[in-house]
Amino acid sequence: MAIKVAQPNGETWTYEALCLARPEDLEDVMRCGATPDLSRLSGWEFRGFNTVELLQLAGIRKFKKGFYRADPSRPHQEGIQGYNVNVVQGTLGEPWRDATKNGQPVRIGWYEAHQVDLADSDNKYPNAVLINYGASPKNIKLDPSRLLRDYLVQVYPDNPDLYLGKAFLTLGPLRVFASYFVLERHNPSELGA
């Protein structure tokens, strides 16, 4: 029987409620969340919000995360690729608007995503998809995003539009917590499914 994760007040989690939740409640959601279906992520961009307030100063509290399949002959279960989109910062209640350069969205922090492999060193959440920025050849060698490893779970098995993630920085064999982040389906990816 699946565990139904609810807010402390008993209500169902919403995007906004997750963005404002306590870390211990977010950790409960991470542990009980469903494994995302990569084929349902692929082809979409999701509006994202980092829960750590300090990231507002770095200009990355609000962002978008896109997923796509670069090689259509490769099945989704083998993994997909993705990127982050810089977004004009503002409050949680304001719309997500892409930051642009020469009329194009600014895409950064490329990654590969696949289900967590229990034999891998990055296996903290076996129910998650691992987003590995160090695996993408699109990031230059000195890009600090290469140090990121994110775990992503689907908050409710019957809602493929709402996700919770937890980001870690890799420091050799150590994994240092960076932030929780919340994702909600936003718009199709220009890079395809």
44 assigned to some structural domain: yes
CATH number, domain at 127? 2.40.128
Do 110 and 83 meet the contact criterion of CB atoms below 8 Å apart?
Answer: yes
CA angle 35, 20, 85 (to 5 degrees): 65
What integer pLDDT is reported at residue 55 of this predicted model? 64
**Residue 132 belongs to what domain range?**
15-188
4 assigned to some structural domain: no
- Successive 10-residue mean pLDDT values, the chain, 193 residues: 70 95 96 95 96 71 92 72 94 94 94 94 95 93 93 97 97 93 96 77
What integer pLDDT is reported at residue 107 of this predicted model? 95
- Give the H/E segment covering residue 42: none
Question: Quick count: other Cβ atoms within 10 Å of Cβ 183?
Answer: 27
Give this prediction's pTM. Answer: 0.91
What integer pLDDT is reported at residue 32 of this predicted model? 95
Structurally, the chain folds into a number of domains equal to 1
10 assigned to some structural domain: no
